[in-house]
Amino acid sequence: MTKHLLTISGLTKAEIDATFEKTRVFKQRQKRGIPHTPLIGKTIGLIFEKASTRTRVSFEVAMYQLGGNVIFISQRDSQIGRGEPIKDTARVLSRYVDGIVIRTFGHEIVEEFAHYSSVPVINGLTDLHHPCQVLTDVFTIVEKKGSCKGIKVAWIGDGNNMANSWIEAAARLGFDLMLACPDGYLPDKNILAKAKKEAGSKIEVVNDPKKVAKDADVLNTDVWASMGQEEETEKRKKAFKGYQINSEILKLAKKDAIVMHCLPAHRGEEITDEVLEGANSVVFDQAENRLHVQKVILEKLLHPEA
């Protein structure tokens, strides 16, 4: 069966641990300028129906560094935008490329694509999940803190795709996750219920940002309005007032807490400029690590025998 990466819960703890182990090696190798090109002759297609800086560029560079090629397929210039069925697109592209990264709206689109694809499909963000980002974020925690065991992660803001993937990561890897989300903007009910049932650690959703920030090792947030929710921006600005990582919130966390944000950030909304640029912030290391983690994912899925 073709292996895809659609959600964090689709991975075992052993697979995630092995990914992190290999990421450390890949990152070191890259820093030393030692080439590693197991994907010579392979090509991935990137289908993006939403904007992207990090995901697109990190996947493209990852593939080039591994010796492979990339074709960027925008909705506008392909038949996807003119309504060609997903199941046809998936079967056609599978005949040309060795893997596909998709960024789209409904999660069912990547599921359908993966169902019909005979090559690995990687979720580059849907409305429901952002697995590559959260895998990278947990890798960054392990890099900074030595392990994610016994770590308390606080999420302040929207119960969005990032929050859902964090919930799945906490259940898989066994760290505590406290989320503070306003009513009406909670994480996906089914994902939360399943994760709580499976988790050996604490996963809790409350309304109070201060409560979750208290003694946290990691403070984490994301935009109040995600891609596709632009029309709700004003309404969301009101609902999310107070759900901000700022210096007062930072003071409640552990002294050596790290501040994370998947970026792009809206300074003055979910995070202040002072905290984003401050000593506790690891946001640019986080962004860099997308490249290293995704190289491991690409090698694993496209060349599993490596």
Closest by Cα among 84, 171, 135, 145 to 294 = 135
Please select the residue that binds ligand CP; options are 4, 42, 54, 107, rule is CB under 6 A. Answer: 54
Binds 223: which of ligand CP, ligand NVA, none (CB < 5-8 Å by kind): ligand NVA
Q: Which is nearer to ligand NVA, 262 or 297 (CB)?
A: 262
* CA angle, 155 then 277 then 275, to 5°: 45
Which residues ranging from 55 to 94 are in contact with ligand CP (CB under 6 A)? 55
Binds 53: which of ligand CP, ligand NVA, none (CB < 5-8 Å by kind): ligand CP
Q: Rounded to the nearest 10 degrees, what angle do helices 107-116 and 86-94 cross at?
A: 50
Q: What tokens were used for 71?
A: 């074709």
Binds 271: which of ligand NVA, ligand CP, none (CB < 5-8 Å by kind): none
Given the residues 244, 262, 286, 292, the one annotated as active site: 262
Which residues ranging from 133 to 192 are in contact with ligand CP (CB under 6 A)? 133
Whether 54 is catalytic is no
Closest by Cα among 302, 304, 306, 305 to 41 = 302
Whether 133 is catalytic is yes
Whether 132 is catalytic is no
Binds 160: which of ligand CP, ligand NVA, none (CB < 5-8 Å by kind): ligand NVA
Q: What tokens were used for 209?
A: 């940002």
- If one asks whether residue 52 binds ligand CP (CB under 6 A), the answer comes out as yes
* CA angle, 295 then 296 then 297, to 5°: 90
How far apart are CB 221 and ligand CP at their closest, in Å? 12
Q: Which is nearer to ligand NVA, 68 or 124 (CB)?
A: 124
Helix (H, G, I), strand (E, B) or coil at 146: coil
Binds 188: which of ligand NVA, ligand CP, none (CB < 5-8 Å by kind): none
Please select the residue that binds ligand CP; options are 111, 214, 263, 300, rule is CB under 6 A. Answer: 263
Helix (H, G, I), strand (E, B) or coil at 25: helix
Closest by Cα among 158, 44, 137 to 94 = 44
Whether 29 is catalytic is no
Residue whose structure tokens are 């959703």: 205
Integer CA distances (angstroms), 127 to 56, 86, 175, in order: 17, 17, 24
Whether 172 is catalytic is no
> How far is residue 145's CA from residue 291's CA, in Å, rounded to a whole number?
20
Q: How many residues bind ligand CP (CB under 6 A)?
A: 8
- If one asks whether residue 221 binds ligand CP (CB under 6 A), the answer comes out as no
Binding site for ligand NVA (CB under 6 A): 125, 160-162, 222-223, 226-227, 262
Helix (H) or strand (E) holding 70: strand 69-74
Q: Which is nearer to ligand CP, 199 or 262 (CB)?
A: 262
> How far is residue 184's CA from residue 192's CA, in Å, rounded to a whole number?
15
Given the residues 130, 172, 236, 292, the one annotated as active site: 130
Residue nearest to ligand NVA (CB): 226
Whether 215 is catalytic is no
DSSP 185: -
Give the catalytic positions in this structure: 103, 130, 133, 222, 262, 290
